Each structure stands twice: as C-alpha cells, then as structure tokens.
Amino acid sequence: MSNLEYNGQVLTNTRRELKLKIDDIATELCLSVQQVQAIESNLGTLFHSNKLKQAVIKRYCRFLNIDINAVITQYEIDTTDNNFQRAKKDNLGKSFKKYLYIFMAAFITTLAWKFFA
C-alpha cells in the first residue's frame, strides 16, 4: 500500500447534511476553498504530498464527526518515520557513549587531583 485512496463524496454528503458551506470547512481547517473542493472531488492537486492530504482528510473527518475508515480506504505509508526512529536510536547510543567517556575522563581527572594535589 503506497497510495492514498479515499471517498470524498462521504465528506461532501455529510457537509451538506450538516448545512455547512465549503467556506466554513476551509476556515475551520485553515485551508483554501480550492483545497477543500479538491479533497471532496478526490483530486490530487493542491497538496504537496499524499501524507499531507491524508492528515487534512483526517482533520476533516474529525471536524464532521465521521469515522475515518468510512472515508479513507487505503492509507499512505510513510517509510521515513521508521528510518528516522532507527537513526534517532543509533544517535542516542552514540551520544550515550560520548557522555560516558566524558564522565569517565572527568572522574579520573578528579581522582588524580585528589591524590596528587
């Protein structure tokens, strides 16, 4: 699964049932009217990535109080998150070693000062 698939018609129908205008949705979600229309029409334009569009659709669903799974049928998987977490853990290990060596050096230096001063 690497592409975002969703049903914008569910959003449109619910918005109309709640008697909300596209302007209301755009204002509430901090989007342009064109972006809201693109979401409701299942257009891929006006968003830099599917991850961003997916996040906006989730916010839209929460605002309309709709189950997200009723709208989004296939999620966009972000593989950079896993790589970031792995890199973060690797860097944590390196940072820990670095501070451990600094601590050991400071401790030995303190002992040396105590014994030879």
- Count the domains in the chain: 2
pLDDT tens, position by position, 60-105? 999 999 998 888 887 766 555 455 555 555 666 667 777 778 888 8
Range of the domain at 48: 5-74
For residue 68, the domain's CATH number is: 1.10.260.40
CA 62-46-83 angle, 5° bins: 70
Report if pTM > 0.75: no
